[in-house]
A = this chain, B = another copy of it.
Amino acid sequence: MDEKPRSGCPINLALEVIGDRWSLLVLRDLLLNGKSRYQEFLSSREKISTNILADRLTRLEEKGVISKRDDPENGRQYLYAPTKRGLDLLPVLVELARWSCNYDPNVDKTLPNVKQLKTNKKKFIRKIMSRFEEA
């Protein structure tokens, strides 16, 4: 997995880690939708396939963006969580969301995060960050 990076451009380097939509949707589920289990990611509305999900979880863990531990409720499952490095991708997710809110009529404005995000971006980011930093 430790390919040589294609360039030292910081945008490219970030995209080499999380530059595909499914990785970012898993991160969204972890950071914004309170999900932490394989089956929960699988049940998201975008219908990620099991093989892509398994691949992205492995990759994100290898890249230090997420971590996993045994699920105390079920020893054959894992609980996933963002690392500090993963949590610090929240501003990327927020800017993607803001862009759609400004331009895409398909945005579901009833989603709770959408309302909060539109009201105050900084406060929204702080709230999410503090939720994980307390944990």
| Residues of A bordering B, CB below 8 Å | 5-16, 19-21, 24-25, 28, 32, 44-47, 85, 88-89, 91-104, 106-108, 111, 114, 117
Contact = CB atoms under 8 A, between A and B. Distances in A.
A98 B91 CA distance: 10
A10 B114 contact: yes
Contacts of A32: 11
Most chain B CB neighbours (cut-off 10 Å) among A9, A28, A91, A95: A9
A92 B88 contact: no
How many protomers of this protein does the assembly include? 2
Nearest to A4: B106
Contact of A91 (B12, B20, B95, B100): B95
A22 B73 CA distance: 41
B8 A107 contact: yes
A74 B117 CA distance: 45
A89 B13 CA distance: 18
